[in-house]
Structure 1
Amino acid sequence: MGGFAEVRALAERNRSLRDVAAAVAVGAVCAAIQASRAQFSDRSPDLASWGWLVLMTVPLVWRRRAPAVVFWLVFGLAWGAELVGVDTAATVVMPMVAIYTVARHGTRRRLVPALVAVEATVLTVTLVEQAAWGSAVGVTAIVAVVILFALNLRTREAYLAQLEERAARLARDRDQQARLAVSAERTRIAREVHDIVAHNVAVMIALADGAAYTATRSPERAADTMTKVSATGRQALGEMRRLLGLLREGETAGAEDELVARPSDVLRSGDVLSPQPGVDDIDLLLDQVRTAGLRVSLIREGDLGRWGPGAGLAVYRIVQEALTNTLKHAGRRARAEVRIRCTEEDLELMITDDGAGRQARTDAADERSGGHGLAGIAERAASYGGELEAGPTAVGGWCVWARLRTDDRVAG
């Protein structure tokens, strides 16, 4: 379609030249007819005949710009030639070209009067010259064919223009969808990076603080803690490599739903294409948080295996973000509880802690972190038709509550 548009633009720029060439071609045809008629007649074309031919040819240069005006001008010149007795082939050919142009480039409102004028002329000439009615019928048939041919070309041209416009609109829509997909993918990647980095860095900081605190009194315990810091860092690096591996392989935003291998292998695997974490990895996540010093318990209700890997990843990230915030704002002495309840209709999460009065988890803090914390897990819940709420509890501490509703379930 792009090449067709370029050709069409070039043709539009050369419209005047093409109109002149078309007018000259029609005039040449009339001149050839006029010259050939002299061979079968005793009367040769005179200067007036040639002059009238030129006079009727010139208006055709503007036939596409003003079809109706050119028609009536040519039609009047044809009548003038008959009245003054000028014998030229242009009086037959030029009106046909003019009415063709009205049918092709003009409006129907202007075509009807032109057609009436032509047919009235045919009828008048037939009656005045007492010609055979067969000639009148033949001329009428020729006029009808010319008009139908012009209307057919006009319809086809309009159809092609509509196809071109539709193709251009589809191209614009495709580009817009591509931009939206890129934006959504960037948001997804930013959310994944935030979840990976924020959680693991928070755990590493907590472990490093603990190692520094016990370094003088218990060097062996401090060394063991630093080993856990190293393991946590390697885990974060492995998850980042996996994410980058998905990008290199051209995976789409739905890749997390297509990787259905054992999710529990992700935290142990060094393969960059290992699957995303899921519900089965929450126990490993809690062990990691407990290693950092946070006391946390887990309560499961219902069959979590009914839900697919996409929902499993959302559950994992919501729990991960909530516990990361507890580590950062409530401290390692706080207690946390993770409750996961699965029913036939939805999957409900509640993560609470007792870090009373020590959580500065305000919107401003979330903005300073880049806006991918609570906002990110709220987006995850919304993507599964759910909702998420977070805030202080009535008895102190903090609560993150989420509900997921989705058809992304696997029959157990």
Structure 2
Amino acid sequence: MSEPVAVSEAKALAVDLPRPAGAMRRYWGSHPWLVDSLLAAGYLAVGALWAVITPLSSGDWSPIAPILVPLVGAVVSAVALLFRRHQPWVVFGIIGIVALVSHLLDAPAEPFGVGLALYALFVYRSNRSGWIAFGVTAIVSLFFLPASVLFIVGMLVAALLGVTVGDRRRYIGAIVERANQLARERDQQARLATLAERARITREMHDVVAHSVSVMVSLADGAGALAEKDPQRSREAIREIGDVGRQSLVEMRQLMGALGDETADGEAQSPLRPNPGLGELPGLLESFRAAGLPVAMRTQGTPPEQAGLQNAIYRIVQESLTNALRYAREPRHVLVALDFTEEPLTLEVTDDGRAGPPAESVGSGSGLVGIRERVRLYGGTVDAGPAGDGGWRVRVEIPNEGRGHGG
């Protein structure tokens, strides 16, 4: 049974997220300069229209103050609006000065530019900056504008819109940054788990290699002692040395292929015995039965003789049964099926636990990582997931004796 933490994470992430932006919204969001250019052009058109219509409607045809000054002001403000995302304080200062100069020259100054600059401060800088600018605008308007209350109300509307949009923008940005951080941490944890599992595999393979070398030394000593007394037995011992040596080389190549380079192992030498293999599986299953797991085993064909492969199968069965013991919901039957009759050899651990939400993980979350690393060492594949009846299944296929993957 797989680590349920992955299922739990998937369900935790399955929340009601907002719908992704449409094609038009994505286009405008990816072209901010185009948006600002269109906004500046629209503002320039409105400002020019305001500069022309206002004096004409009052019958004043003097071109200097009533028309020329607001036209120049509209051009300056429109150019400043191009940089509202990058320098909102500068834009606010320029547009505010233009509006104040226009008023002092008794030219018709439109209020939209100040509102746009104030909105930009809330959205692209901070609420604190926006309210400071709003306060300055309100104080100046009280001294210079006769209809200051109406102007202040208009600026307040722009400020509230800026607060709403700015807060939403910063909130979404914080969520995206947090999601990216979690993704980075997840990737780092996965790499650390992989490295830790490879180190554990290295230690286990070291036991096998140390055992092989010790056997070779003992056989060599025996062959030397029997060389004259019993030449036949001496030759048999020498052949056994060759077999053990070749097997050790195969396992070392597989180890180097999995780790990518040599590793230094400074630990004390393990006892001169191999790690658990297929012969220890009955005892392993009996321990799970004693713990209350109704497990049975079915074996077909002749088991492989490779000690490292037997150890990998043993550990995979051990991890799968441990997960079944932890997380299966009232299983009535757990089956360990080993099929050595065909190429590749297959290992399958299934349980018939009841369907339902996954149990809370009590492990480190690296159980499947360990299984995949062990199988990868021998060039095999892993398929782990829920079974059709609500249980769980782990299926492993490994090339027989790891041929072609000695690296």
| TM tier, smaller | 0.3 to 0.5
| Structure exhibiting the larger radius of gyration computed from Cα positions | 1
Per the normalisation by structure 1, the TM-score is: 0.47
Higher RCO structure, 1 or 2 (CA under 8 Å, sep 6+): 2
